[in-house]
Amino acid sequence: MSPEEILYWLKETDRVKLEELRSRADSMRRSTVGEEVHLRGLIEFSNLCSMHCLYCGIRKSNMEINRYCMSQAEIIEAVSIADDFGYGTIVLQGGNYDGLCAEKTGELIKTVKSRYSKAVALSLGERKLGEFSYWRRCGADRYLLKFETSDPSLDAALRPDNGTGYSIRIEMLKVLRRMGYETGSGVITGLPEQTYSSLAEDLALFRELDLDMIALGPFIPHPGTPLGRMFADGPDKSSEQVPNDEITALKCIAISRILCPEANIPSTSALGAVDYEGYARGLEWGANVIMCNVTPYRYRNLYEIYPNPNACWNVNQQHVWITDIIKGLGRKPGSGTGPRIRRISIMQGQSDSCELQNGLYRNCSSG
Ligand code: 5AD
């Protein structure tokens, strides 16, 4: 798909024409990743965060929420619940927190890997390179690091901790890949000031990075954040502003499937948060993964990156609803760990030395 075509589809609003995009993505999904929908057991083990991203409810400066950090025993208990449901992957997610202990995290990864035959995916934000490689040696299989936007000025405005105006996350993704991680990234669609052309570049970058996992969800204003307060008067109506509606996120899922046929693409919680049926639509527009939240009930409301009325589903109810959605679409829950399977060889022009020149080692000691 050419850059012009990406832009064309992002701007298309005619539902009849959009059906062409959806069905193209759906056929691509069927012929590459098939009918299985992989279920991941998501553990949001801490909402502590050192960052001040303007869109995120768990940003450090949000004093309105109580902070928590699950104990190792609680995390292992959540893993065993995920195991009971047969989820093949455990996703350990937490805020981008400087105080996270690399050794304890490594021990946890080793424990999970030794007791269960599961893939372990980490989603812990920007870390030192030494930590990434240590966790890989401990057995972590995947790393999720959304770059949110590849537009340097938007990135600098929305993620003030990243003083460079350049997304260090993009360079970290290349390093993670070289370390042997399956790498995942993604963006938020409809962020204030996000233009169609910048979003089109984000999507093209997914392919350039040859991502194994791609997560896309609409921006959901959180009243306790600067962007949420700014958004209280409604979205900017200028013609270049990307809307934060469901259809835009669905179009991005479909385009990502066409650009990156083999990637594992979740029908994200943000889609399900706006409308529970959103999960089903994500699967119809190219997605093949759903994250099932196995975080203990008492912590659910505290991991409030955005308001989510579905956050309090209990695990049994959630499992039934999600498997019903999958079966209702004539698909089936996946088996095994659901890794990226390489079926097509796409040659990418990736330079191995580029990240060394981008200041990653200067800004981030290897610990
Ligand atoms: N709306 C939608 N997604 C958000 N995230 C953070 N804040 C918001 C928001 N207000 C997403 C980011 C982050 C993931 C855990 O949640 O993409 O990486």
Task: Verify whether ligand 1 is closer than 6 Å to residue 187 (CB atom).
Answer: no
Q: Domains, the chain, ranges and CATH?
A: 3-362 (3.20.20.70)
Block residue for tokens 């639509």: 281
Ligand 1 site-directed mutation target among 45, 56, 143, most atoms within 8 Å of CB: 56
Task: Verify whether ligand 1 is closer than 6 Å to residue 306 (CB atom).
Answer: yes
Give the whole-angstrom CA distance, residue 28 versus residue 215.
17
What is the number of residues in the chain?
367
C-alpha of residue 55 to centroid of ligand 1, in Å: 7
Backbone angles phi, psi at 164, to 5 degrees: -75, -15
Give the whole-angstrom CA distance, residue 362 versus residue 181.
23
3-state helix, strand and coil shares in percent for the chain, rounded to the nearest 5 = 45, 15, 40
Question: pTM score, two decimals?
Answer: 0.93
Task: Verify whether ligand 1 is closer than 6 Å to residue 56 (CB atom).
Answer: yes
**Structure-block tokens of residue 179:** 């370390």
Task: Verify whether ligand 1 is closer than 6 Å to residue 220 (CB atom).
Answer: yes
Beta bridge partners of 36: 332
C-alpha of residue 57 to centroid of ligand 1, in Å: 8
Instruction: Per residue of the chain (367 residues), give pLDDT as tens.
Output: 999 999 999 999 999 999 999 999 999 999 999 999 999 999 999 999 999 999 999 999 999 999 999 999 999 999 999 999 999 999 999 999 999 999 999 999 999 999 999 999 999 999 999 999 999 999 999 999 999 999 999 999 999 998 777 789 999 999 999 999 999 999 999 999 999 999 999 999 999 999 999 999 999 999 999 999 988 877 777 889 999 999 999 999 999 999 999 999 999 988 888 788 899 999 999 999 999 999 999 999 999 999 987 777 899 999 999 999 999 999 999 999 999 999 865 544 444 333 333 323 233 333 3
Task: Verify whether ligand 1 is closer than 6 Å to residue 42 (CB atom).
Answer: no
C-alpha of residue 275 to centroid of ligand 1, in Å: 16
**Structure-block tokens of residue 311:** 């956050």
Ligand 1 site-directed mutation target among 55, 144, 225, most atoms within 8 Å of CB: 55
Q: Are 205 and 150 a contacting pair, CB within 8 Å? A: yes
C-alpha of residue 345 to centroid of ligand 1, in Å: 32
Give the whole-angstrom CA distance, residue 356 versus residue 339.
28
Block residue for tokens 């770059």: 147
Beta bridge partners of 94: 46
Q: Taking the CB of residue 110, how many other CB atoms lie within 10 A of it?
A: 16
Could you identify the atom of ligand 1 that is nearest to the CA of residue 57?
7
C-alpha of residue 53 to centroid of ligand 1, in Å: 9
